[in-house]
Structure 1
Amino acid sequence: MSDFAGWIKATLGVTPKDLGLYERATTHSSREEADYERLEFLGDRVLGLAMATWLYKRFPDEPEGKLSWRLNALVSGAVCAEVAREMGLGAHLRLGKQARDDGAADSDNVLGDVVEALIGAMYLEHGFAAAEAFVRHQWEDRLDHQQRAPQHPKSALQEWAAAHRRKPPVYQVTDRSGPQHSPRFTVTVSIRNAGEASAEGASKQEAETAAAKALLEQLK
């Protein structure tokens, strides 16, 4: 068994039948060969279903809104990237030279997408039960440590503005940098006559969330 096949078995808990499927799941488009994007598309949905089912059963008294906040927090790109790092995934990414030089091996976008692609590969070979078992193993501590459904920082900031009779927060992208496959966005959020804060993220949404969180800290 190759080192990669051994890593798949030890980390994902399944023995690969078609190792090429898992190689594709870890191949970035910069290699100019079959890449992970289609498998990531599939794995994203499998992860969402596995997590939604788990939350539905674990929190039987919570309304849909709270379950949605839990789901969004747990399947975010940043959390998927955390899982990837815990798995040691970076060492197994198949990247082109330029992407590697640009730091794609430690990109939240790339790492998170590849985790989802691997889930997609598991689903195709071993079915939903195997993919669900992997999700529960990798996410169990994160779910158990959510003492209550988290309130999204943007929603909390909106509520703060309303409670203090201020106009709604205004978000503005103030910078975009980095290569196409691993961009960085800087967003500034402001509430008139209250304050402003800026933050970075791998996507506009991630930067907006971080900026809202930073401004909330200032307003406490």
Structure 2
Amino acid sequence: MSECGVRIRELEVGDYDQVKRMIKRGLSEHIPVAMKAQLQTSAAVPGILLGLSVLVVFITSLDFMSLALLLCTTGFIFYASGLLYLHLYTLPNELEEFNSGWPINRYEKFWVAEAGEGARWQIVGSVGLRRMSDSSEYKLELKRMSVEKNFRRKGIASRLLRTALDYSSENDVKEVVLRLTSVQMPAIKLYSKFGFRTRRVEKQRSMFGMLHLTVLELVVSDLSTRSM
């Protein structure tokens, strides 16, 4: 048995559905966090104020309670519409590769982490490496890093990441690229430990420009000297 009852192995065809469900659960966790962040940032305020001002134009008399109700209603509509947008549009698009059976050959390598003992093992984590087609050099993008909620803080993410970077180092990969959104900031500490550094920060807008998301591109290029 592997250390701490966890073993890392390559993805097999029979794992598709289980890995898809695990990754979908992980992505769904970020949606409420993302919408909460929208309401807390200045980027969301203009949209809310614009909606309020349009409604106020049609209201000649507005007491404090009505204004408070209007504010809460506007915020709720923004929050609820954002949740629906992320659930019904963004999440399915993110998982589009699964819809056609998610063949292994879409990735250069893909690993899963299993926890258990004896004949009873369950997939609790995953990570993949995809060849970057927009580069003439040998560069890989780190994708699908996910660990089940009940198995976090047990070193599984570190073992998956180490497996991916060891493969990259052994195969003379020029660099490994990772894209993170602002709701995944807590993971930056882990990636920094393995040598990832921020190369680019960009803002993305969606849902008629109302939702704002910060996307960080991290890169590790000196694979031979990364911190373990």
TM-score bracket for the superposition, by shorter chain length: under 0.3
Which TM-score applies when normalising by structure 2? 0.24
Q: Which has the higher contact order (CA 8 A, sep 6+)?
A: 2
Considering fraction of residues, name the structure with more helix: 1
Considering fraction of residues, name the structure with more strand: 2
